[in-house]
Structure 1
Amino acid sequence: MTEFTNSESWVVLSPIEKQIKDKIERIGTPLKDWDIRINYGIKTGFNDAFIIDGAKRKELIDEDPKSEEIIRPLLRGRDIKRYSYEFADIYLLFIPWHFPLHNDPTIKGASLKAEQEFGIQYPAVYKHLLKYKTKLSNRNKTETGIRYEWYALQRWGANYWEDFSKQKIAWNRIASEKLFSLVDEGIIIQDSMHFFTGNHLKFLCAILNSKLFSWFMYLIIGDTAGGNAGNSDNIRNLTIPKPNRELEIQIERLIKSEQYREIDKVVYKLYDISEQEIAFIDAQ
């Protein structure tokens, strides 16, 4: 038996588990060296104010068509499935710090000028948020009304918000089972998730969702839900071989036809997993 330390505790491995683990870690390039950056989703600080349904979206747009500019489709952790997602007609009021003057570098803290402009340019959304002003103002006391305005999101991805406009791989970082979804351009994800953008996304999604990696993630993380269970370190340290074009085309074709068991076979072969090892994993 072999012991190793994961993020939570000591894990005792059987010889065959160590054998498979060694193969996975020996083959490929760690994701942290794939020129990708793993980021958090958006944190509102008070979901009731910023997250709306389709009916409320329509109401705000009917009242002021300009409202549509800052209403974005939103995915929650529960919406993430393996490879795909289920959109629940939920939307986010995407309001950065100092909006709509967020591109003005001279604004360093909560700005009355920005608030006045917000009320003028987006009156329907501003009126909606006014109903929650007291609760919004009672968020993080060291920041709200000091570093940013009461009507702004608590964390809006200041250094990576443009990545939300790109296709991305997202997963629920606090769920016990890790499911990786290809998420379309323009969709915002909530802070219960991590995500990354970049190249080879379909290939990476297939590897991460494969039977081999589902088993491996359980091995190194376990079935405990929580923030550490799907933290970015566990993902960025996974080793995955960079594909040639032929392999990438094969994987994309199998995803399109939903031949996920065939993807498992390709991944087993990629990591030189023996028939005995496959039988062991499939039996788990």
Structure 2
Amino acid sequence: LRGRDIKRYGYEFADLWLINTHNGIKEKGIPRIDVEKDYPAVKKHLDGYWDKIEKRADQGDTPYNLRNCAYLDDFFKPKIVWGNLNLRAAYAVAPEGMFVNAPCPMIVPADEYLLRILNSKLADYYIRNLSVTRNGGYFEYKPMFIEKLPVPPQKGTSPFSEKDSESQIDQKVYKLYGLSKEEIDFIERQ
């Protein structure tokens, strides 16, 4: 997924694919991708750039492999994803095996409670006040801003249901944070 593919509570897969020539996850027994055996056409293409890939400082076991990635296995789990630049909060859950490209951050594991809070008007107001505005009114939704959001611990079962409208979610989030009527009115006017 690219950032522009990610929508509020969902995504539109653009049918774009990548071949992740990862270096494996040795401690989990996942072998590196054998480009020569598994992707001979890719190897042939990359051979045309041998002078450059041979010298890569960030290569894996072979120049065809990516360097080790400490969080590679996180891509094989459900995760909350979002685009780095947005006009408003647009977080979604990407399923296991779905990859995002930089600068699309992710939170692993995916959590529906957190997803609803992140997409709420209150969280969006809070994060926008920390972030930077770019051309066209876009806001930077960088992890350094998102991680500052205080999230109330979930007590018991989630207060949210699959059938909640965005307005109902917002009202439940206001209650979780203990906002007064005046504070709610202020956020609703933003």
TM-score normalised by the chain length of structure 2: 0.80
- C-alpha distance in structure 1 between counterparts of 2:60 and 2:16, whole Å: 28
Which SS does the other structure have where 1:93 is aligned?
Answer: coil
Looking at structure 1, the residues matched to 156 and 112 of structure 2 have their Cα atoms a distance apart, in angstroms, of: 12
Residue 164 of structure 1: how far off its partner (Å): 1.2
Letter in 2 for 1:198: P
Amino acid of the structure 1 residue aligned with 2:171: K
- In structure 1, list runs of 5 or more residues that go unmatched: 1-74, 105-113
Matched-pair contact (CA < 8 Å) for 1:133–1:151: no
Q: What is the identity, as a one-letter code, of the residue corresponding to 1:238?
A: L
Cα offset, 1:280, TM superposition: 1.8
Asked whether 1:239 is paired with 2:150, we answer yes
Whether 2:92 is the aligned partner of 1:181: answer: yes
Structure ranking higher in helix proportion = 1
- Counterpart residue type for residue 118 of structure 1: V
Tell me which of 164, 181, 186 is aligned to 1:275.
Answer: 181
For residues 150 and 137 of structure 1, the distance between their equivalents in structure 2, rounded to whole angstroms, comes to 10
Secondary structure of the residue aligned to 2:105 is strand
1:118 paired to 2:35: yes
Task: Give the RMSD, CA atoms, in angstroms.
Answer: 3.0
Match for 1:91 among 3, 12, 17?
17
Equivalent of residue 128 in structure 1, options 29, 34, 42: 42
**Cα deviation per residue 1:246-279 (whole Å; 9 max; x = unaligned)?**
3x1x31x1xx225111000001111122222222
Query: In 2 relative to 1, CA 140–172 (structure 1 residues): closer, same or farther, beyond 3 Å?
Result: farther
Aligned-pair CA distance for 1:137: 5.4
> Offset of 1:147 from its aligned partner?
5.5
Code of the residue aligned with 1:151 in structure 2: it is Y
Alpha carbons 2:80, 2:93 under 8 Å: kept: yes
Q: Deviations over 1:49-80 (max 9, x none)?
A: xxxxxxxxxxxxxxxxxxxxxxxxxx111111
What is residue 207 of structure 1 aligned with on the other side?
117
**Corresponding position of 1:76:** 2
Q: 1:152 offset after TM fit, Å?
A: 2.6
Tell me the distance in 1 between the aligned counterparts of 2:120 and 2:101. 24
Q: For 2:40, what is the secondary structure of its paired residue? A: helix
Contact 1:80-1:181 within 8 A present in 2 as well: yes
1:218 maps to which of 106, 115, 128: 128
Bigger RCO (CA 8 Å, 6+ sep): 1
Q: Are 1:230 and 2:141 matched, yes or no?
A: yes
Q: Distance in 2 between matches of 1:268 and 1:244?
A: 15
Q: Offset of 1:194 from its aligned partner?
A: 0.9
Q: Deviations over 1:143-164 (max 9, x none)?
A: 15x65534334x66x2111111
- Once residues 45 and 177 of structure 2 are traced to their aligned partners in structure 1, the CA distance between those partners, rounded to angstroms, is 56
Dislocated runs of 4+, deviation >3 Å:
132-142, 146-150, 174-178
AA partner of residue 184 (structure 1): P
Q: How many residues align?
A: 183
Could you say which structure has the larger radius of gyration?
A: 1
Q: Contact 1:173–1:194 at 8 Å: present in 2 too?
A: yes
